[in-house]
Amino acid sequence: MRVALGLLTLLAVAPARAAEAPEVAQACLACHGEALAEGAPPIAGHSSNYIQLQLVFFRAGRRKNEIMQGVAEGLSDNDIRALGKYFASLPVPDAKPPADTRAELTRTGEATAARHRCAACHGDAYLGIQAAPRVARLPEAYLAKALTDYRAGTRPSSGGAAMTEVAGALSDADITALAHYLAVLP
Ligand code: HEC
Ligand code: HEC
């Protein structure tokens, strides 16, 4: 009994470790590893639920992207669960924000984000809360594309269609400013 309790304590204080990479994750790292392929966002450290949901959306063709629809087509439900668990167990990449050469656009983006209350769902530091993922310091072009896709309906939104509604009210100029602001967040 003593031994068992000791072991439990040990498990409780052991630092969280990355889950072992499932075989099926190897192919992902070519685009979502330390170096990102063009257009590919980092996925490490997103919640398992968010990752799984996006893979299901791609597999069903509801989130349109030629590359990811092709990738997701071959994944079973078990693969998707394992991938969600694995990538969620990895630390969020601590990317330094790119140098901000457009301070005025940043201020416009900040004001636009305040007007649309983006932080209410994504958190004050934009690191994500529940269904709303981390959006801080994602690649600027990816952020702009994501918002444009929600607005165009080529990407569905979880969270009671939260993003479809939010993005519907954004102009092209709003999207440009928001993507820049989030990409260069300190
Ligand atoms: C050849 C490159 C490539 C490979 C291989 C690849 N991806 Fe992707 N992935 C992309 C691109 C590009 C996007 C952005 C799609 C978009 O713009 O909607 C993406 C998007 C995603 C997203 C959505 C991220 C978000 O923030 O919403 C997830 C999750 C994802 N990929 C998981 C995976 C997994 C898991 C694998 C391996 C089974 C994988 N990808 C393999 C290129 C790739
Ligand atoms: C009511 C809550 C809510 C509000 C307000 C909100 N979001 Fe979201 N956001 C979400 C949820 C939930 C998701 C995940 C949707 C999905 O399943 O694709 C999301 C996803 C996103 C993504 C996709 C991230 C990725 O990795 O692909 C971006 C970018 C984003 N939001 C930016 C914004 C911006 C900018 C605003 C303000 C203009 C905003 N959000 C306001 C809830 C919200």
Give CATH for domain 20-89. 1.10.760.10
Calculate the alpha carbon distances from 160 to 89, 120, 131, 166 in Å. Answer: 26, 15, 10, 11
Helix and strand totals (H; E) in the chain: 10, 0
Length of the chain: 186
- pLDDT attached to residue 16: 56
**Phi and psi of 132, rounded to 5°?**
-85, 120
Ligand 2: atom nearest CA of 174 is: 38
Amino acid at 3: V
Of the candidates 114, 132, 110, the one whose C-alpha atom is nearest the C-alpha of residue 123 is 132
Whether ligand 1 lies within 6 angstroms of the CB of 144 is answered as no
Can 20-89 and 103-183 be said to share one CATH topology? yes
- Report CA(90)–ligand 2 centroid distance (Å): 21
In angstroms, rounded to a whole number, what is the distance separating the alpha carbons of residues 166 and 180? 17
Which tokens hold the place of 2? 């003593």
Whether ligand 2 lies within 6 angstroms of the CB of 146 is answered as yes
Tell me, rounded to whole angstroms, the distance of Cα 146 from its chain centroid.
10
CATH for the 103-183 domain, from 1.10.760.10, 3.90.1170.50, 1.10.3720.10, 3.90.1150.10: 1.10.760.10
CB atoms within 10 A of CB 138: 19
- pLDDT attached to residue 98: 86
Whether ligand 2 lies within 6 angstroms of the CB of 133 is answered as yes
- Residues 6 or more apart whose CB falls under 8 angstroms from that of 15 comprise none
Largest distance between two CA atoms of the chain? 64
pTM of the model: 0.92
Ligand 2: atom nearest CA of 112 is: 38
Whether ligand 2 lies within 6 angstroms of the CB of 135 is answered as yes
Which tokens hold the place of 131? 């269904």
Ligand 1: atom nearest CA of 37 is: 2
In angstroms, rounded to a whole number, what is the distance separating the alpha carbons of residues 56 and 75? 9
Domain ranges of the chain: 20-89, 103-183
Which tokens hold the place of 132? 């709303």
Q: Report the nearest-CA residue for atom 6 of ligand 1.
A: 28
The pLDDT profile of the chain, 186 residues, written as one tens digit per residue, is 444 544 555 444 444 566 688 999 999 999 999 899 999 999 999 999 999 999 999 999 999 999 999 999 999 999 999 999 999 999 998 878 889 999 999 999 999 999 999 999 999 999 999 999 999 999 999 999 999 999 999 999 998 899 999 999 999 999 999 999 999 999
